[in-house]
Chain A
Amino acid sequence: MQEIRVTNYPEVLVDRPTHYCPGCQHGIAHRLVAEALTDLGVVDKTIAVSSIGCSVFLYNYLNLDTVEAPHGRAPAVATGVKRARPDAVVFTYQGDGDLASIGMAEIMHCANRGERVTVIFVNNTVYGMTGGQMAPTTLVGQKTTTCPGGRCLEREGAPIRMSEIIASLGGTAYCERVAVNTVKNVLGAKKAIRKAFQYQLDGKGFSFVEVLSTCPTNWRMTPVAANERVASEMIPYFPLGTFKDIAATEGA
């Protein structure tokens, strides 16, 4: 009789407790990035560009060379890193406040230029780190500290669907929205993240994966209820799927 361990956490995922709140799915997204880089055998040549938000301490959890970008500017920093080190695998890891609000210009132009970088976009519909203010992705009716009566369509506009916008830009090679609310979706997210890095390695262009994620603390929900909200409220507005895949169109 021989006992084997089924769970193999990649070495690049640093073995230390995270600062994230209970049930916060940043941890799952970190693990999926670590698994993808490990599976592709590119850990040693990867440079991460972290952003501002709860994931600001990404470098504490992924044992990678990391550049910490100012709020929203990660795609611009990643552009510089990739152009200076074209052989490196370069990715940004950004929240929705970071990417879709203050960093809207940087992400749009980075995608449009078709920079050979990968963006992991964690959309939890709020500014997590600063206490749950409304983000461009906050759902209509969702209560936050800056829209205590709920986001109002007339006053604040509709939540921005980033994947659909990014997919419409010329330089984008691959764009997919995933969730990590069920085992099946986590496995799908893992595939998408791996594919995004593969496209970068193949020099195909800009790759983007939006990960729907929870912020139980600022949603004022238990982790289990927050996870259920992903299916009941987020996915209906932010549908999962591939919004652009140049390999699929090339092959057609």
Chain B
Amino acid sequence: MPSRVQFREDRCKGCLLCVQACPSGIIQQSSRFNQQGYKVAEVPAERMAECKGCAFCAIMCPDFAIHVFKTKEAA
């Protein structure tokens, strides 16, 4: 069951609390700045498959900047 995360880059403040929380260690700070001037968090595309969909990152994000998705087999 693959999972993925989506960062709302306009909301991210680059605090990196999500990096600290992710059990897979796949979140990192990107080199992109958002409009507010913060360097946003990202999961590199090649590591997204390691996402467990645990939402630990979203639970620790103070800025509601993360969405987590899981894919289910249709019943």
Contact = CB atoms under 8 A, between A and B. Distances in A.
Interface of A: 1-7, 9, 13, 15, 17-18, 20-28, 31, 182-183, 186-187, 216, 222-224, 227
A3 B51 CA distance: 14
A21 B60 CA distance: 15
Contact of B62 (A3, A28, A183): A28
Contacts of B21: 182-183
A7 B61 CA distance: 12
Contact of B15 (A23, A26, A182): A23
Contacts of B62: 18, 20, 23-28
15 contacts: A1-B72, A1-B73, A2-B73, A4-B70, A5-B68, A6-B3, A7-B55, A7-B67, A7-B68, A20-B63, A27-B62, A182-B21, A186-B59, A186-B60, A224-B20
Interface in B21-75: 21, 36, 38, 53, 55-56, 58-64, 66-74
Contacts of A186: 59-60
B10 A6 contact: no
A183 B14 contact: no
A145 B19 CA distance: 31
Contacts of A31: 64
A188 B15 CA distance: 22
Given A5-B68, A6-B55, A17-B36, A223 B15 contact: yes
B71 A223 contact: no
Interface residues of B, number: 32
B61 to A, nearest CB: 8
Contacts of A18: 62-63
Given A3-B69, A4-B69, A22-B13, 13 more contacts: A1-B73, A2-B73, A6-B68, A9-B64, A23-B16, A23-B62, A26-B62, A28-B60, A28-B62, A183-B56, A186-B59, A222-B16, A224-B19
A55 to B, nearest CB: 12
A195 B21 CA distance: 26
A183 B69 contact: no
A17 B62 CA distance: 11
Closest 10 CB pairs of A and B: A27-B62, A23-B15, A22-B13, A223-B15, A22-B15, A6-B68, A7-B58, A183-B56, A3-B71, A7-B67
Contacts of A222: 16
Contacts of A183: 21, 56, 59-60
Contact of B63 (A4, A17, A182): A17
Highest count of chain A CB atoms <10 Å: which of B20, B63, B74: B63
A6 B53 contact: yes
Contact of A1 (B19, B53, B74): B74
Nearest to A216: B15
